[in-house]
Copies of this chain bind each other. A is one copy, B any other.
Amino acid sequence: MKSLKSLLPFTLFCLSLLMINDSIAQSSKSNGAQTFEKYIDANQDAHLKEFLELISIPSISSIPANKPDVQRAAVWIVNKLKSIGISNAQVIPTAGQPAVFGSWENAPGKPTVLIYAHYDVQPVKESEWIIPPFAPQIKDGKIFGRGASDDKSGVMMSIWAVEAMLKTNGKLPVNVKFIFEGEEEAGSPNFKNMAMANKALLKADFGLNADGGQYDENTPEILMSLRGTAAMEFSIKTADIDAHSGQFGGKTLNSALIMSQIISSLYTKEGNVAVAGFYDKVIPPTAKEKAMMQKVPYNKEEDRKILGSTAETGDTTYSALERIWYRPTLEIIGMQSGYTAAEGHSNIIPGNAMARITCRLVNNQDPAEIQDLIVKHVNSHLPTGATASFKFTRGKGGASPMKFPSDTKEYKYVSDVLEKVYGRQPIQVGTGGSIGSLISVKDILGIYMYSMGLEQSDEKWHASNEFFKVSSVRKGQILYCNYFEHLAEEEGKLKK
């Protein structure tokens, strides 16, 4: 999951870094004997070293050849948990990639927090990286490597926070459970079943999603909505074999051209999705959500700098934030046809073309229903002589959209801690991203997992040269330690 945040220019960035560290130090000190802070500072080098070790494991969940690596990463995390005193740490097998569980439950009568993160990562296009993506390096205050930000940062920040408290106080103020997923980047196809089968083990009073972000280094955020997701692949076939472009050029269908025409047909001139029925279940944002968007200091110029893009797209009768948070999308995430190796040249009319689609969904849109609409659209746009086939490699369906309430004590505790650590109130944001497992947790365990993570929107999640800011390593631990303390204190008051 990633939320939308603006990127501050570098100078402001450095300045704010100093201010924030200052504000954390002050706020922490004001809270009595914060010995965990000393531990965190004293162990930063050792932590960075083990962080690089975890990032170096290519735990790409969607590539079968990497299955042993995903397994290895899971075992690495189990060993780390055991080393800090989580003696029951274990790998939980699923039909796909394993999850990792561990808990510290020696605070009887205190609330239990379940922390979610994922240790699997996206594939890489190695040639585009400035360093090998699984040989992480620290440069200019940034930890480069696949998964550094999304979401091995979430795994490690939360573990280190527990480590800091256990090593300094020998105990935690609340009970803590970890559930680290191994296939979030593959669409969480087995999380729901795993959670159902381990309902008792995962039972908790509160939930936190460590795969979350900060709006910027000065500004905390609370995530109020996630889009859902549906993915699929389709192929267009025009011939059994590729044709010689001289022998057949002028009289046989070209699958690359037909694919291009079908992709073009998926959109209106205004940049909306042209698939019939696609928007049927979309509900406009509520007054509250509109007000929330108004308060977000969104700067589209800063935003574009992250990608180096110079224009926005989509139907501009909706604001950029509304398009990202409350409007669904259909994106071509990959397409291939003919001979495309970097070297060589093959004069053929391709008989086959392939494209992959990801939709981000909102409100009541149903992933399986949307997939069906797309299949129908493609089939109805095929010219005579072309056929289409469809693959749902991650299963039919996908993740449903999700919203979080802001009138709960769970919300308030997260907000309080963010305000304390950052020195200012969090802003409410939506996100265009999806985390299917958060919905499963709500459905099965009945708890909302508010996001509490340190990722920032310029950190190139899913893209080449992903990184995580060194400055966030400390802040993440401080944040979680403060949350545990605040939760114990507030819930303690309620019991009295």
Interface residues, chain A, with chain B CB atoms under 8 Å away: 1-2, 4, 60, 62-65, 122-123, 125, 185-187, 227, 229, 231, 238-254, 256-257, 259-261, 263-264, 267, 300, 303-304, 307-314, 320, 323-324, 327, 329, 331-341, 343-351, 353-356, 358, 360, 383-386, 393-394, 431-434, 457, 460-465
Contacts and interface: CB of A to CB of B under 8 A. Distances in A.
Given A253-B309, A313-B252, A323-B250, A345 B340 contact: no
Contacts of A300: 251
- Complex A-B, nearest 9 residue pairs according to Cβ-Cβ distance, in ascending order: A311-B385, A240-B308, A246-B433, A334-B338, A250-B323, A260-B263, A239-B307, A260-B260, A249-B329
Nearest to A329: B249
13 contacts: A2-B246, A4-B247, A229-B347, A239-B309, A243-B309, A247-B457, A249-B331, A250-B324, A251-B312, A253-B309, A307-B351, A313-B385, A333-B348
A421 B112 CA distance: 92
Copy total for this chain: 2
A275 to B, nearest CB: 14
Nearest to A349: B331
Contact of A463 (B123, B241, B343, B353): B241
B261 A246 contact: no
A86 B462 CA distance: 61
Contacts of A464: 241-242
A294 to B, nearest CB: 18
B336 A335 contact: yes
A349 B333 contact: yes
Contact of A345 (B264, B394, B465): B394
Nearest to A315: B250
A246 B431 contact: yes
Nearest to A327: B250
B337 A334 contact: yes
Nearest to A433: B246
Contact of A238 (B2, B309, B331): B309
A360 B249 contact: yes
A312 B239 CA distance: 11
A346 B333 contact: yes
Given A323-B250, A331-B349, A333-B348, A460 B311 contact: no
A311 B253 contact: yes
Contacts of A324: 247-251
Nearest to A393: B345
B123 A346 contact: yes
A6 to B, nearest CB: 12
Contacts of A457: 247
B345 A247 contact: no
A125 B339 contact: yes
B334 A256 contact: yes
Given A250-B323, A313-B252, A307 B358 contact: no
B122 A384 contact: no
A385 B340 contact: no
A307 B337 contact: no
Contact of A384 (B62, B240, B254, B310): B310
Given A333-B350, A385-B310, A345 B231 contact: yes
B463 A246 contact: no
Nearest to A323: B250
Given A263-B260, A360-B245, A309 B344 contact: no
Contacts of A240: 307-309
B2 A463 contact: no
Contacts of A64: 343
A246 to B, nearest CB: 3
A30 B253 CA distance: 47
Given A238-B309, A329-B245, A432-B246, A339 B335 contact: no
